[in-house]
């Protein structure tokens, strides 16, 4: 018999899938690391499990304890799965710009969800960063995960996602392109691939309203770069410790409209029903066209599944209201 002992054992070993139509104008091979095959439907299952197991080992997460995290949904899902299997309580603190589907999904897997306003500064007591921290101080036997600064986030991708991409491409990968939020994915995969071959180029996808691109290019944390945006999952108004700028060769920014339109295109032209950051990632990759040549093998990572966006990027009324389609 061939079976996993619990759902957590099915995390990782996701397929690599060739893009055919959307990338037809490019000279190179483009392969998608297709992370929705994880049991929580996103790449975040990998780092969630790593963070929980490292916290158990360090003794900061004790039997019967409560896991608390400020999460846009996918990390919460991964943590919730680990909590269910391992017997912890899970509390997710989420910002009100996230889709209703994400909140309902977290509740479905047993999480308590607190919704906080988006348009306040991170240090404001109402922000989801502050609320998560406060709850962890108030609730006994609780552990605040802090995916932004928790080194197990980046480590998960160095230990699993990076090696998988290297082996699946037979070491032929030349470029890695991925959306950046906490920075765990780009930093973990990027440092693994560059350790195997220093010539691999690593590109981050950023969004308008986020600080990453300007900071990478100038070393300046420019508050003028910060304003509300629609794209989900990528961009930040802080510099998380998990963003290792030294393994990143460059950033490109994608507009909210382009990210939404390309999320639809992935589904309709490639049969890839994916989240909003996948739309941003593929559009960003197309913006980088001049950097790719005939023999290149470009890997783009798609973080999560389309089901979480049916009320938004896959709803034409919403798309029209936003002015993204006619």
Q: Of the candidates 23, 150, 160, 182, which one interacts with ligand PMP according to CB under 6 A?
A: 182
Pick from 313, 314, 320, 310: nearest CA to 100: 310
- 65 CB contacts (<8 Å, ≥6 apart)? 88, 89, 141, 142, 143
User: Is position 74 an interface residue for ligand PMP (rule: CB under 6 A)?
Assistant: yes
44 assigned to active site: yes
> Cβ 310 to ligand PMP, closest distance in Å?
15
By CB under 6 A, the residues from 113 to 142 that bind ligand PMP are none
Distances 151 to 43, 144, 168 between C-alpha atoms, Å: 16, 13, 25
Pick from 265, 264, 276, 274: nearest CA to 232: 276
User: Is position 72 an interface residue for ligand PMP (rule: CB under 6 A)?
Assistant: yes
Q: Are 233 and 275 in contact (CB under 8 A)?
A: yes
- What is the Cα–Cα distance from 232 to 160, expressed in whole angstroms? 24
List 18, 21, 33, 44, catalytic entry? 44
> Cβ 37 to ligand PMP, closest distance in Å?
15
User: Is position 233 an interface residue for ligand PMP (rule: CB under 6 A)?
Assistant: yes
Taking CB under 6 A as the binding criterion, the range among 95-103, 174-182, 263-271, 283-291 that sits at the site for ligand PMP is 174-182
- What is the Cα–Cα distance from 124 to 127, expressed in whole angstroms? 5
Contact string (CB under 6 A) for ligand PMP, positions 142-171, x = contact? ------------------------------
Residue found by looking up tokens 């922000």 in the block: 127
User: Is position 306 an interface residue for ligand PMP (rule: CB under 6 A)?
Assistant: no
By CB under 6 A, the residues from 263 to 302 that bind ligand PMP are 275, 277
User: Is position 40 an interface residue for ligand PMP (rule: CB under 6 A)?
Assistant: no
Pick from 21, 73, 24, 305: nearest CA to 314: 305
Closest-approach residue to ligand PMP (CB): 233
Q: Of the candidates 40, 70, 162, 179, which one interacts with ligand PMP according to CB under 6 A?
A: 179
Smaller CB separation from ligand PMP, 111 or 277? 277
Taking CB under 6 A as the binding criterion, the range among 18-26, 122-130, 182-190, 291-299 that sits at the site for ligand PMP is 182-190
Q: Are 286 and 259 in contact (CB under 8 A)?
A: no
Residue found by looking up tokens 């919730």 in the block: 80
Smaller CB separation from ligand PMP, 150 or 185? 185
Tell me whether residue 10 is exposed, middle or buried, using C-beta atoms within 10 angstroms of its C-beta: 0 to 12, 13 to 18, 19 or more.
middle
Smaller CB separation from ligand PMP, 65 or 176? 176
What sign for the dihedral angle of Cα 245, 248, 249, 254? negative
Residue found by looking up tokens 């306040």 in the block: 120
> Cβ 43 to ligand PMP, closest distance in Å?
7
Q: Count residues binding ligand PMP (CB under 6 A).
A: 17
Catalytic residue annotation:
44
Residues that bind ligand PMP (CB under 6 A): 44, 72, 74, 179-186, 233-234, 275, 277, 303-304
């Amino acid at each position: 018999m061939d079976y996993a002992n619990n759902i957590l054992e099915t995390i990782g070993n996701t397929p690599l899938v060739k893009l055919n139509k959307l990338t037809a104008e490019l000279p190179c091979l483009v392969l998608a690391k297709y992370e929705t095959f994880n049991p929580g439907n996103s790449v975040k299952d990998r780092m969630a499990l790593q963070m929980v197991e490292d916290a158990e080992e360090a003794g900061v997460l004790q039997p019967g304890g409560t896991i608390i995290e400020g999460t846009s949904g996918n990390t919460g899902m991964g943590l919730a799965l680990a909590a269910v299997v391992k017997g912890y309580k899970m509390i997710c603190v989420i910002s009100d710009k996230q889709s209703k589907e994400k909140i309902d999904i977290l509740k479905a897997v047993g999480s308590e969800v607190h919704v906080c306003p988006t348009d306040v500064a991170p240090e404001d007591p109402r922000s989801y960063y502050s609320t998560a921290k406060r709850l962890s101080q108030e609730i006994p036997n609780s552990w605040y995960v802090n995916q932004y600064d928790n080194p197990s986030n980046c480590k998960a991708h160095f230990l699993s996602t990076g090696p998988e991409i290297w082996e699946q491409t037979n070491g032929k990968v030349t470029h890695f392109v991925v959306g950046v939020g906490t920075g765990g994915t780009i930093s973990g995969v990027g440092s693994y691939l560059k350790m195997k071959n220093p010539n691999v180029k690593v590109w981050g996808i950023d969004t308008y309203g986020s600080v990453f691109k300007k900071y990478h290019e100038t070393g300046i944390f420019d508050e003028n770069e910060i304003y509300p945006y629609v794209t989900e999952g990528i961009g930040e108004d802080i510099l998380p410790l998990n963003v290792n700028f030294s393994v990143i060769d460059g950033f490109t920014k994608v507009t909210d409209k382009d990210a939404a339109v390309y999320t639809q295109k992935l589904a309709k032209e490639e049969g890839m029903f994916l989240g909003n950051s996948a739309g941003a990632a593929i559009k960003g990759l197309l913006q980088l066209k001049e950097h790719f040549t005939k023999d290149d093998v470009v890997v783009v990572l798609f973080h999560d599944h389309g089901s979480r966006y049916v009320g938004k990027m896959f709803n034409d009324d919403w798309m029209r209201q936003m002015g993204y389609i006619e």
